Amino acid sequence: MKKILVTYKIPSTGFDELGGDYEVIFPKGDKISEEEINEHIGNTDAIVSVFGHALSKEVIDRAPQLKIIANFGVGYDNVDINYASEKGIVVTNTPNPVTEPTAELAMGLMIAAARKIGSLNNKLRTAEGVSVGVMKNLSTTLTGKTLGIIGMGAIGQALARRALAFNMKIIYHNRRPLSSEIETQYQASKIPFKDLLKTADVVSLNTPLTAETKHLISHDELELMKSSAFIINTARGNVINENDLISALKASKIAGAGLDVYENEPHIPEALLALDNVVATPHVGTATMETREEMSMQVSDNIKKFFAGELVECVVNA
């Protein structure tokens, strides 16, 4: 019997269908305790790690039977991939369920930031309220504007599809160009990174966090952007230098930001929250009940296929 150690209380959907060949250990609380780790880690065959919660080398070293780390999330920067590979441990993720909800939230942040939905909502709830008039509370339309997507993978393409419904123009930057068929489908043009920053009315970050993308957007990049432009981040907080972003927003170097991720989560700087031109959500890009259940199903399916010797499409350290 294979033992699966789940480090966070996620939906049991999918795990219930694994059958008698598997023993699934869920934490008693929201996340697994050190006591529970000590009890089970020695004979654990699979660990379900959760994005945003680091799986330490020390825990991996205490699991001599560990064969697979099935990450609950598309981003896997919470797992030391190189170390897992050195130990001969396969790491998988769950890319398919997260695509549409993340793009959905990115689109929502774009609308909220450009149309000042967040700041107006907040002001309406204060004693001062909002002064109403024909030339008051003016915002920016997205219709006809240029969306620059940095990281035109599955999520970036799902966002592009939504933006086309707003009659937005799509430009993107990737390490590699998309096929001509995909570019035609999304009416998208690949342009150099700096040109994208100079051109786009909205810049959306949809790239994974790597050594190359850490602080991809810092002071110099923000200086290239239009003063009327907005930046949207549903990728990882460390893709943006947060201090530089705060400075740019305070100085009106850019018009605003829609943020779902932050450098030191779960901490969100008070300086960001105090700004009227920032719409903030607490890393909820994939936080729908439907998505969480789909992610659990894919995690359990990855584990089942791995131990059955079948092809697992979601291996990230192949």
What residues are annotated to the active site?
A: 236, 265, 283
Cis peptide before 266 (omega within 30 of 0): yes
Instruction: Identify the CA nearest to 305 among candidates 17, 6, 12, 8.
Output: 17
Range list of H helices, 186-258:
193-199, 219-224, 242-250
Angle between helices 154-164 and 95-114 (to 10 degrees): 40
Q: In angstroms, rounded to a whole number, what is the distance separating the alpha carbons of residues 9 and 318?
A: 28
Q: In angstroms, rounded to a whole number, what is the distance separating the alpha carbons of residues 128 and 199?
A: 38
Please count the residues of the chain. Answer: 318
Amino acid identity of 184? T
Burial of 144-183, coded b for 16+ CB within 10 Å and e otherwise, reads: ebbbbbbbbbbbbbbbbebbbebebbbbbbeeeebeeeeb
How large is the greatest C-alpha to C-alpha distance in the chain, in angstroms? 70
Phi, psi of 232 (to 5 degrees): -120, 130
